[in-house]
Amino acid sequence: MTRPDNTRFAAGVDIGGSHVSSTVVDLLTGELMSSPLATPVDCTAPATEILDAWARNIRQTVATSALPVGQVGMAFPGPFDYERGISLIDGVQKFDRIWGLDVAASLRDRLAGCGCGPLRLRFVNDAAAFALGECLGGATRDTDRVVALTLGTGVGSGFVADRRLVERGDTVPAHGWVYHLPFEDGIADDAFSTRWFRRRWHYLTGETIAGARDAARRAEEGDRTARRLFEEYGTRLGAFAAPLVERFGGRTLLLGGNIARAWELFGPALGERLAA
């Protein structure tokens, strides 16, 4: 049995703190039907500017595919009311201006006419989507219990057992979210996002850097302070992740997000801490 054309193709959208990326997916075969399109987005901009940027990206992806797209699936950072499509993000220096906004209705208006009939929007936690995707067909497809952390402008998380997301129960935090969990003198979102790199670098040197990417470049160029910074980051991340992995019975810790690109700089320290 085949799907009607207007339900067969969907736009898959990843909302990040610094970008929006989208592609069209054939839901029958799982095939990507267009090249992923990434567009920079200022997460501190006014709500209208953010929503317009997201909508332009999605419309361009749908138009390029020339396919009858009838659905849009959006991977969105939390906290977020994923059933109603309302942002609950506040006080984390990203998307503060869309707090309380009905993102679903706002985007549906902006996307009217770009697909085949009324568009159906569905929202899912971005880190959970990353975790599930890797378990279904990616790096951890042969692993039965996975703890995933995404590291970037914030800290996302996902727990997967037997290819299913685990969002409640004694083995995971509520909703499977870790961003708000206490660590040191604050919360995980402040301790492991790019904000930590800025704060820590300024404390150590009195200088200002843009974030983790800037610190990684300096480390790769041989800056000893930058290298120590990443070693410290890895050790601290291991201290935070170890009890999460143990409590869940995880066999793999999966990392994503832009900071994970600097794995070679902090991975060894993280591994040592997890093995301790």
Output the six-digit token pair for 222: 């041989």
DSSP 102: B
pLDDT in tens, the chain (276 residues): 454 567 899 999 999 878 899 999 999 988 999 999 999 999 899 999 999 999 999 999 999 999 999 999 999 988 899 999 999 988 777 788 999 999 999 999 999 877 656 688 999 998 999 999 899 888 998 899 999 999 998 899 999 999 999 999 999 999 999 999 999 999 999 999 999 999 999 999 999 999 999 999 999 999 999 999 999 999 999 999 999 999 999 999 999 999 999 999 999 999 999 998
Tell me: cis bond preceding 68? Omega within 30 of 0 counts: no
- Report the pLDDT value the prediction gives residue 84, as an integer from 0 to 100: 93
- Determine if residue 158 is left, alpha or beta; phi over 0 gives left, psi from -120 to 50 gives alpha, anything else beta: beta
Same fold, 5-118 and 128-275: yes
Check if the beta carbon of residue 76 is closer than 8 Å to that of residue 88.
no
Residue 261, SS3 per DSSP? helix
**Domain 5-118 CATH superfamily:** ATPase, nucleotide binding domain (3.30.420.40)
Q: In this structure, which amino acid lies at residue 125?
A: N
State residue 2's pLDDT score.
53
Check residue 154 and give its pLDDT.
87
| The pLDDT value given to residue 117 | 61
How is residue 162 written in tokens?
Answer: 């037997």
Query: Cis peptide leading into 79, omega within 30 of 0?
Result: yes
What is the DSSP secondary-structure string of 27-38? Answer: TTT--B-S--EE
d(CA 187, CA 182): 4
Sequence letter at residue 181: L
Kindly list the domain boundaries of the chain, sorted by start residue: 5-118, 128-275
Q: Classify residue 109 as exposed, middle or buried by CB count within 10 Å of its CB (0-12, 13-18, 19+).
A: exposed
Q: Residues 139, 65, 11, 144: what is their CA dihedral angle, to the nearest 10 degrees? A: -20
Residue 7 confidence (pLDDT): 82
Q: In Å, how far from its chain's centre is CA 195?
A: 16
CB proximity list for 89: less than 8 A, separation 6 or greater: 77, 78, 79, 80, 95, 96, 98, 99
Give me the pLDDT at residue 245, please. Answer: 97
Q: Provide the token pair at 47.
A: 């709500």
What is the CATH number assigned to the segment(s) 128-275? 3.30.420.40
Helix (H) or strand (E) holding 204: helix 194-205
What pLDDT is stored for residue 79 in this prediction?
84
